[in-house]
Amino acid sequence: MPERPKRPVITAAHIDGSQKIITVDADAIITPSAHDRAAGLGVSLVRQSQSSTPAKPSTASTKSATSSPPNIEHLVRRIEHTNLSPIATRRHISRLCDEARTIGCAAVCMNPIHVPLAVELCAATQTRVCTVVGFPTGAHHTKVKMEEASRAVGDGASEVDMVANHALLLQDELSAYAADIRCVRQAVGDEITLKVIIEASQLSEEDIVRAALAAEQSGANYVKTSTGMYGQARIEDVQLLRRVLQPATQIKAAGGINDAMFALQLIEAGADRLGMSKTLDVIGGIRSESRVQERRS
């Protein structure tokens, strides 16, 4: 898969208060912290293709924060019903798949050992089988991630959520960070949906942007906010990802999605998929709210 052209990233560190006008590339990504620093110092950010109009955050999004909340069926088709517990048994995974099929979830997500069972139980349905690679730390040798991913696909998984190597990013070894992702992309092939987990809640805005763009340029179909092990999904992270990613690159929010309102807010912020283990509670909450609204009307 060819790499997408790299776009320059403007962070707060690039804003020099001694300059009242700073010219940036036409396609540059300007982080929220850079906008805030520029505004606080009275600095105008002007794109090269413009003469006097200050640069604004990208609005490249297929979502609208003011759009009407999706109906329950529309929401369900965005949910990946998940059980990543280390003590999940065949009985737990069977129940997970039965619930997902019955509700109509987009996918089920479980540890790699359970992929063959999930493939069997979800056969001839619209529910896809997703698994995780390098979970939950991402601090695995790249060859191990490749083997794990290849085996999962061989067992029938159609989607793979890989955990990126966060230490490489924070050590400014961005080429190695991206290479880790590209190797897994090559191991699974172009037909498999690859989601890259960046653990956004543990990163600065600038590092979120760097991680997301590296994932996108390395072949990710989705950028995923977190494993759910070290922090929960945050609306502001989804909004930032939607601003900096190309429209074709999708977003999966995961971690701490336990109620209907939060789920809807994440979708409105730009999430295309939601990974959650409390699916029944979330769906039940939306149905209850719908009944309340019906009675009021």
Q: Is 6 a catalytic residue?
A: no
Active-site pick, 145, 207, 237, 252: 252
Q: Is 56 a catalytic residue?
A: no
* HEC readout, the chain: CCCCCCCCEECHHHCCCCCCEEEECCCCEECHHHHHHHHHHCCEEEECCCCCCECCCCCCCCCCCCCCCCCHHHHHCCEEEEECCCCCCHHHHHHHHHHHHHHCCCEEEECHHHHHHHHHHCCCCCCEEEEEECCCCCCCCHHHHHHHHHHHHHCCCCEEEEECCHHHHHCCCHHHHHHHHHHHHHHHCCCCEEEEECCHHHCCHHHHHHHHHHHHHCCCCEEECCCCCCCCCCHHHHHHHHHHCCCCCEEEEECCCCCHHHHHHHHHHCCCEEEECCHHHHHHHHHHHHHHHHHHC
Active-site pick, 180, 195, 224, 272: 224
Active-site pick, 145, 161, 180, 272: 161
Q: Is 161 a catalytic residue?
A: yes
Active-site annotation, residues = 161, 224, 252
